[in-house]
């Protein structure tokens, strides 16, 4: 669930940022008169299987943001505090973005880099060009960061707490150990160094721990230097977009639970309504079987007779189950072990005879199964229907309740907002979400 929400937030951020790039976006709809933008490349890619859901996402984002404003949640202390916490990260991203603008990579440079690898087919360059340029950009960006950080070390002093001159002295288990301090404030831990070193050696197997530490220190110095962006005009422009991203996240994560709070009453009601579905174990039996074809009744009777006459019928049954094993390999290896089979999973007449057996009893005659044929059945044990008590599984029920709200109640909330909104969609082939009346329905 978290993974889905994270992806939704990422896509939402793309939609929001698109509003600032008029040359790269398109108006796909108006929600109560407000334009909804979408990145043109996504919109025009009709082969993209996610295209329709992406359009829905953009419209629903605007619906939720407008609803948050209607409810007076737009400028709450919580949102403004989140924006303040986000500003240093946004400032760092702005700094890096401006650095990237200074890196120009020509097609000739990219082609030369691509051709260095003998495994690459020269004719495949065009399809790999973007990826190659990104790889070159990444390398050059790291070099620039190291160069700039080196010039700024006097401004932001660095104190090395541990010198890793060789790998033998490095102990990755000491995660909280401080290996360096930048500007008398930011501590770099052994855990951070371990992760960075792992990333670096994948790029350059000859890299050292000190190389990894240098990269970390350089980034922290840039972090401090990027603080100058916090009060910049660019930041002021981005605050509105940050508010939209945070408010969308709030409406997805918190607002639903304001409408459907996790209270003792609601959770108990959910348990009662879903008792049979989630919290009741049906009557079941632990079974082993030996299967014979529909025309092999006499053979089944002969094998069963031999089993029942043996000195140890149960042991003999397991032996014959392996000997006559059929079906999936795991059944052959486990002597026909079917596990615990619910009564409702068996044909009525078949189940009646199986559940009439005592624990540890072998059925005295082959049982007829319409789908498979004749079966010899060994019932190891039976269990009655069991109901999990609310008090014993309360934490599980709370978790199930929350997942149920997120999965099913969100659409109800959006549908309610849609019913109170005026939506005009400009995408002609918006199948499944655009009606002739100009309405909008949730996918």
Provide DSSP, 144-195. Answer: HHHHHHHHHTTTS-EEES---SSGGG--TT-TT-EEEEETTTEEEEHHHHHH
Which tops the pLDDT comparison, 43 or 305?
305
Nearest-angstrom CA–CA distance, 275 and 280: 6
For residue 438, pLDDT beyond 50: no
Lowest-confidence region among 134-148, 188-202, 388-402, 429-443: 429-443
The tokens of 27 are what? 């108006």
381's CB contacts (< 8 A; 6+ apart) are: 285, 286, 359, 360
11 DSSP 8-state letter: H
pLDDT of residue 5: 47
330 compared with 138, residue with greater pLDDT: 138
Name the pLDDT band for 432 (thresholds 50, 70, 90).
very low
Which domains does the chain possess? 1-70+260-278+391-443 (no CATH), 88-229 (no CATH), 280-387 (3.10.50.40)
Instruction: List the beta bridge partners of residue 150.
Output: none
Residue 384 phi, psi dihedral angles, 5° rounding: -75, 170
| Tally of CB atoms within 10 A around 43 | 20
pLDDT at 437 exceeding the cut of 50 = no
* Contact (Cβ atoms closer than 8 angstroms) between residue 179 and residue 199: no
pLDDT in tens, 283-301: 999 999 999 999 999 999 9
Residues 164-181 have a mean pLDDT of: 73
What percent of the chain has pLDDT above 90?
45
Helix (H, G, I), strand (E, B) or coil at 342: strand
pLDDT band for 44, please (50, 70, 90 cuts): low
β 25-31/423-425 pair status = antiparallel
Phi–psi pair at 290, nearest 5 degrees: -125, 125
Q: Quote the percentage of the chain above a pLDDT of 70.
A: 84
Average pLDDT rounded to a whole number, residues 406-415: 85
pLDDT at 97: 92
Tokens 């700024």 belong to 152
Average pLDDT over residues 10-27: 52
| Mean pLDDT score of the chain | 84
- Residue 18 pLDDT: 46
Taken in order 149, 152, 154, 155, is the CA torsion positive or negative? negative
At 250 the pLDDT is: 82
The pLDDT tens digits of the residues spanning 293-322 come to 999 999 999 999 999 999 999 999 999 988
Residues with Cβ within 8 Å of residue 284, at least 6 apart in sequence: 340, 341, 342, 343, 382, 383
Among 4-13, 293-302, 319-328, the range with the most confident prediction by mean pLDDT is 293-302
The model carries a pTM of: 0.56
Q: CB-hemisphere CA count at 13 Å for 305?
A: 6
Of 435 and 37, the one with more pLDDT: 37
Please list, in sequence order, all residues whose beta carbon lies within 8 angstroms of the beta carbon of residue 380, skipping any fewer than 6 positions away: 285, 286, 287, 288, 359, 360
Which pLDDT band, with edges at 50, 70 and 90, does 49 fall under? Answer: low
- Model pLDDT for residues 53-76, shown as the tens digit of each residue: 777 888 888 998 999 888 888 777
pLDDT above 50: residue 199: yes
pLDDT of residue 328: 66
């Amino acid at each position: 669930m978290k993974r889905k929400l994270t992806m939704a937030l990422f896509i939402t951020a793309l939609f929001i940022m698109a509003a600032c790039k008029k040359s790269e976006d398109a108006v796909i709809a108006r929600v109560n008169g407000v334009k909804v933008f979408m990145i043109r490349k996504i919109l025009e890619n009709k082969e993209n299987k996610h295209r329709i859901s992406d359009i829905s996402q953009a419209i629903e984002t605007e619906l939720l943001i407008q609803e948050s404003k209607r409810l007076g949640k737009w400028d709450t202390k919580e949102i403004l505090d989140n924006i303040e916490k986000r500003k240093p990260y946004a400032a760092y991203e702005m700094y890096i973005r401006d650095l990237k603008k200074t890196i120009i990579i020509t097609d000739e440079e990219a082609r030369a880099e691509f051709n260095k690898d003998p495994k690459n087919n020269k004719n495949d360059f065009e399809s790999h060009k973007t990826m190659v340029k990104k790889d070159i950009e990444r390398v050059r960006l790291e070099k620039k960061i190291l160069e700039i950080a080196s010039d700024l070390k006097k401004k932001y002093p660095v104190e090395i707490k541990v010198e890793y001159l060789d790998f033998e002295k490095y102990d990755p288990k000491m995660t909280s150990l401080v290996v360096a301090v930048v500007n008398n404030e930011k501590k770099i831990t052994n855990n951070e160094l371990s992760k960075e070193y792992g990333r670096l050696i994948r790029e350059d197997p000859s890299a050292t721990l000190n190389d990894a530490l240098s990269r970390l220190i350089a980034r922290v110095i840039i972090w401090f230097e990027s603080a100058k962006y916090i009060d910049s005009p660019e930041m002021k422009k981005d605050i509105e977009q940050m508010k939209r991203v945070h408010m969308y996240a709030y409406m997805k994560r918190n607002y639903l639970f304001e409408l459907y709070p996790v209270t003792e009453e609601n959770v108990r009601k959910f348990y009662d309504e879903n008792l049979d579905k989630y919290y009741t174990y049906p009557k079941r039996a632990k079974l082993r079987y030996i299967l014979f074809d529909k025309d092999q009744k006499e053979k089944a009777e002969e094998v069963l007779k031999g089993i029942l006459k043996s000195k140890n019928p149960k042991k003999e049954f397991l032996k014959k189950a392996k000997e006559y094993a059929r079906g999936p390999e795991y059944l052959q290896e486990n002597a026909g072990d079917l596990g615990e089979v619910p009564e409702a999973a068996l044909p009525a007449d078949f189940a009646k005879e199986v559940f009439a057996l005592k624990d540890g009893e072998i059925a005295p005659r082959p049982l007829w199964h319409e789908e498979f044929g004749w079966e010899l059945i060994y019932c190891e044990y039976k269990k009655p229907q069991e109901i999990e008590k609310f008090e014993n599984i309360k934490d599980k029920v709370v978790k199930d309740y929350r997942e149920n709200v997120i999965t099913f109640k969100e659409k109800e909330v959006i549908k309610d907002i849609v019913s109170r909104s005026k939506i005009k969609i400009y995408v002609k082939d918006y199948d499944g979400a655009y009606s002739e009346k100009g309405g909008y329905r949730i996918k």
